[in-house]
């Protein structure tokens, strides 16, 4: 706990600073009647105009939002009269916030937090020296709660460290842990507890917003939201929250958060990204302990996992009865059918647990790369190789039957297509060598577990001999492929990974597949690690690995993954490279249906160094 105590002090100092400026704001906070009018408020609108949201459901069949089928978006809240004053705007966004809390109260999205503790490097600035990873389902009902996917044993040091931490949140916040800023205030977001002061208008991405400072009233009690809100100017939903909670009880702290929402369904903006950061590396500051953390929320549209539900959900797609005269399966055909059945079961189960993205755009890219390897190596398999994206951050790949799975985090940090080909080639090698795992999952009873039990019930780790053989075969495949001339980049990536291997052990802890490292040494594709130039962090044109979050974005509502489209930003110092690092979120906000890609694009500060 010593580490955290030091962080606590730092964070308290931060809160204290904010508190004094907030006190200054409060004096100017008496909500004068002559507030500026809302920019888009049609002053001439008849006061009784219902200003409905686009009718998404016929009135006769529009029950409460919660009763909408899970596969469809809930009915939008009806908008009230267009506001004429900022006071009315405040009333509207308070009402909207309560509507969002109600709409999400039967949801249990996946919540992932990846945290890097920082130390100061004279050359590179703050760099990670230790990391922690949390993955769970968040119950957004009466009391926001979460269940973890990771076993206690897996968490090791993190459990001790964050156990006390979580408990702190449990006793002092309604929303827990790193996910507490999904709402400003789960229970008491109203005028009795808060003062609201209009600041200005501002665009966030394509969305015009009204900005408000929010301060808890003196009588509001401890742990109240203190900070800033961005409210979009059509339906007056909160789209971003930035601040902390105040005042902190003794012996505890609240860190600072920047929380973003996306308009993924009509009428609602759902919490998607939360960035947390603490620490001060300026001269004279004694306390050098600091961290930055990304929390991502997805899987809003997943079904709540009750036992009954799971029993009715199990399907077996692959067992076909083609025709009454179908030939009997040969023993080999039977074996293949069996493996296909296991593969389909696992892919379906992982998707339902909110861990795999449904088949989509990213898979087309992955499959093109796999296809390049196959064609140039004359690999002809009885069944096609498929790919899927694991939605989580830790760097891992695994294969189930002919399906290659690669994690979002790993796709993010790979510098170029050759490196992507390299990590995929290892799994393709397993498939080519017939290292098929997981046929036991053809038995459906093995799919009957709670979503939180996924990591205890599924696993696709090979024995060391198969790992060695797959690496050897992978190098062979790569040397025959269009990527043969670019393997220097792969070597560079492996060196960069090696350099951070001990400080990023949580990022390198795999949960379903084999780890890329053994102890502190990167073992995956080690034959390629000597290729390429020496790693030189000061060379600006040497991009060995990218920050997290720069390649793949996930739609938090339906879990679809797609590639991020960002404009290049020049790297101007070694500190811009941030390999494997967490950066703040800055999604380009857009309204639902405003473009072909309705979900906003999360971008990071240094995501454009695509390096190929």
In angstroms, the CA 465 to CA 203 distance is 56
**179 lies in the site for Zn ion, by CB under 5 A:** no
* Closer CB to Zn ion, 92 or 424, in the complex: 424
* Least separation in angstroms between CB 397 and Zn ion: 7
* DSSP assignment of 235-276: T--EEEEEEEEESPPTT----EEEEEEEEEETTEEEEEEEEE
Nearest partner of 152 among 456, 444, 429, judged by Cα: 456
CB 524 within 8 A of CB 426: yes
Q: What's the min distance (Å) between Cβ of 426 and Zn ion? A: 5
* Stretch of 248-256, 325-333, 457-465, 488-496 lying at the interface with Zn ion (CB under 5 A): 457-465
The answer to whether residue 237 forms part of the interface with Zn ion (CB under 5 A) is no
CA atoms within 13 A on the CB side of 108: 19
**Do 241 and 180 form a contact (C-beta atoms < 8 A)?**
no
- Which residue, 261 or 524, has its beta carbon nearer to Zn ion? 524
Would you say the C-alpha torsion 84, 90, 91, 95 has a positive or negative sign?
positive
The DSSP bridge pattern shows strands 268-278 and 110-121 to be unpaired
Compare residues 266 and 515 and give the one whose CB is closer to Zn ion: 515
Query: Which range touches Zn ion (CB under 5 A), out of 88-96, 386-394, 462-470, 532-540?
Result: 462-470
Going through 290-374 in order, the beta strands assigned E by DSSP cover 290-298
Could you tell me the CA-to-CA distances from 100 to 139, 229, 268 in Å, in that order? 14, 15, 7
Cβ proximity to Zn ion, 210 vs 470, nearer residue: 470
Dist CA 480 CA 470 (whole Å): 15
Binding mask 184-223 for Zn ion (x = CB under 5 A): ----------------------------------------
User: Which of 342, 471, 458 lies closest to 401 in space, CA to CA?
Assistant: 342
147 token code pair:
């269940």
Q: Indicate the residue among 305 and 438 with the shorter CB distance to Zn ion.
A: 438
For the bound state, the minimum distance from the C-beta of residue 514 to Zn ion, rounded and expressed in Å, comes to 4
Among 166-174, 459-467, 472-480, 504-512, which window interacts with Zn ion (CB under 5 A)?
Answer: 459-467
Instruction: Find the shortest distance in angstroms from Cβ 338 to Zn ion.
Output: 22
Task: Return the number of the residue (168 or 421) whose C-beta is nearest Zn ion.
Answer: 421
Instruction: Name the residue nearer to Zn ion (CB basis): 451 or 467.
Output: 467
258 or 396: whose CB is closer to Zn ion?
396
How far apart are CB 486 and Zn ion at their closest, in Å? 22
What does each C-alpha distance from 523 to 394, 459, 470, 498, 516 come to in angstroms?
A: 16, 20, 12, 9, 6
C-beta nearest to Zn ion: residue: 514
Query: Minimum distance from CB of 526 to Zn ion (Å)?
Result: 13
Rounded to a whole number of angstroms, the minimum distance from the CB of residue 435 to Zn ion is: 8
**Backbone φ, ψ for residue 493 (5° rounding):** -60, -45
Restricting to residues 292-351, which ones interact with Zn ion according to CB under 5 A?
A: none
Give me 235's structure tokens: 């339906």
Other Cβ atoms less than 10 A from the Cβ of 546: the count is 29
CB of 461 to Zn ion, least distance (A): 8
Distance of closest approach, residue 510 Cβ to Zn ion, in angstroms = 10
Beta-carbon contacts of 362 under 8 Å, excluding residues fewer than 6 positions away, are 389, 411, 552, 561, 562, 563
Q: In DSSP terms, which residues pair with 240 in a beta bridge?
A: 230, 260
| Site for Zn ion, residues 571 to 600, rule: CB under 5 A | none
- Number of residues this chain uses to bind Zn ion (CB under 5 A): 4
Cβ distance to Zn ion smaller for residue 470 or 494: 470
β-pair partners for 407: 390
Question: Could you tell me the smallest distance in angstroms from the CB atom of residue 600 to Zn ion?
Answer: 35
With respect to Zn ion, which residue has the nearer C-beta, 85 or 510?
510
Q: Is the peptide bond before 477 cis (omega within 30 degrees of 0)?
A: no
Q: Which of 402, 393, 444 has its CA nearest to residue 551?
A: 393
In angstroms, rounded to a whole number, what is the distance separating the alpha carbons of residues 228 and 242?
A: 5
- x-marked contacts with Zn ion along 384-413 as a string, rule CB under 5 A: ------------------------------
- What is the β-pairing status of strands 386-390 and 403-407? parallel
Q: Which of residues 473 and 553 has its CB atom nearest to Zn ion in the complex?
A: 473
Stretch that binds Zn ion, among 100-108, 359-367, 507-515, 582-590 (CB under 5 A): 507-515
Would you count residue 514 as binding Zn ion (CB under 5 A)?
yes
Residue of 140, 143, 145, 92 lying closest to 267 (CA atoms): 92
Considering the complex, state which of residue 525 and residue 589 has its C-beta at the smaller distance from Zn ion: 525
Q: Which stretch binds Zn ion (CB under 5 A): 256-264, 325-333, 461-469, 574-582?
A: 461-469
- Strand ranges inside 266-346, DSSP E: 268-278, 290-298
> What is the smallest separation between the CB atom of 423 and Zn ion, expressed in angstroms?
10
Q: Which stretch binds Zn ion (CB under 5 A): 71-79, 220-228, 339-347, 455-463?
A: 455-463
Interactions with Zn ion, residue window 467-496 (CB under 5 A): 467, 470
User: Minimum distance from CB of 376 to Zn ion (Å)?
Assistant: 21
Q: Which residues in this chain contact Zn ion in the complex, by CB under 5 A?
A: 462, 467, 470, 514
């Amino acid at each position: 706990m010593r580490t955290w105590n030091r962080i606590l002090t730092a964070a308290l100092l931060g809160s204290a600073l904010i508190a004094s400026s907030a006190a200054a704001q409060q004096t100017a906070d008496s909500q004068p009647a002559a507030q500026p009018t809302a920019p888009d408020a049609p002053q001439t609108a008849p006061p009784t105009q219902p200003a409905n949201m686009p009718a998404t459901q016929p009135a006769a069949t529009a029950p409460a939002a919660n009763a909408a089928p899970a596969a469809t978006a809930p009915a939008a809240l009806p908008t009230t009269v267009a506001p004429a004053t900022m006071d009315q705007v405040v009333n509207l966004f308070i009402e909207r916030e309560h509507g969002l809390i109600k709409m999400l109260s039967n949801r249990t999205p996946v919540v992932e937090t990846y945290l890097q503790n920082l130390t100061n490097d004279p050359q590179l600035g703050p760099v990670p020296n230790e990391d922690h990873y949390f993955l769970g389902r968040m119950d957004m009902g009466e009391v926001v709660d979460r269940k973890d996917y990771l076993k206690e044993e897996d968490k090791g040091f993190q459990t001790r460290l964050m156990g006390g931490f979580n408990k702190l949140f449990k006793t002092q916040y309604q929303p827990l842990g790193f996910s507490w800023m999904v709402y400003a205030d789960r229970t008491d977001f109203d005028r009795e507890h808060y003062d609201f002061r209009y600041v200005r208008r501002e665009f966030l991405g394509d969305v015009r917003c009204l900005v408000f400072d929010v301060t808890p009233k003196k009588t509001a009690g401890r742990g109240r939201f203190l900070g800033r809100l961005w409210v979009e100017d059509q339906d007056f939903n909160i789209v971003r929250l930035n601040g902390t909670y105040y005042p902190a009880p003794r012996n505890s702290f609240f860190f600072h958060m920047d929380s973003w929402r996306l308009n993924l369904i009509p009428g609602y903006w759902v919490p998607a990204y939360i960035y947390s950061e603490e620490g001060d590396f300026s001269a004279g500051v004694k306390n050098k302990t600091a961290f930055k953390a990304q929390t991502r929320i997805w899987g809003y549209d997943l079904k709540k996992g009750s036992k009954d539900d799971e029993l009715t959900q199990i399907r077996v797609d692959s067992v076909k009865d083609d025709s009454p005269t179908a030939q009997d399966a040969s023993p080999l055909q039977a074996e293949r059918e069996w493996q296909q059945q296991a593969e389909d079961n696992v892919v379906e189960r992982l998707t339902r647990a909110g861990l795999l993205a449904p088949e989509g755009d990213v898979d087309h890219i992955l499959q093109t790369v796999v296809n390049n390897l196959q064609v140039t190596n004359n690999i002809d398999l009885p069944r096609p190789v498929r790919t899927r994206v694991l939605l989580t951050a830790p760097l891992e790949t695994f294969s189930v039957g002919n399906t290659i799975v690669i994690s979002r985090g790993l796709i993010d940090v790979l510098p170029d297509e050759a490196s992507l080909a390299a990590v995929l080639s290892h799994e393709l090698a397993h498939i080519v060598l017939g290292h098929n795992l997981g046929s036991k999952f053809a038995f459906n009873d093995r799919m009957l577990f709670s979503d939180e039990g996924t990591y205890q019930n599924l696993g696709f780790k090979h024995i060391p001999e198969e790992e060695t053989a797959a690496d050897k075969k992978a190098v062979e495949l790569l040397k025959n492929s269009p990527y043969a001339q670019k393997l220097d980049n792969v070597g560079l990536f492996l060196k960069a990974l090696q350099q951070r291997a001990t400080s990023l052990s949580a990022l390198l802890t795999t949960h379903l597949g084999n780890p890329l490292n053994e102890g502190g040494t990167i073992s995956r594709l080690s034959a390629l690690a000597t290729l390429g130039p020496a790693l030189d962090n000061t060379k600006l044109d040497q991009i060995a690995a990218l920050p997290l979050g720069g390649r793949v974005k996930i739609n938090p509502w339906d879990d679809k993954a797609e590639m991020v489209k960002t404009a290049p930003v020049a790297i101007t110092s070694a500190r811009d490279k941030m390999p494997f690092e967490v950066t703040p979120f800055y999604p380009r906000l857009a309204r639902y249906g405003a473009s072909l890609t309705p979900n906003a694009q999360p971008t990071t500060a240094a995501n454009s160094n695509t390096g190929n």
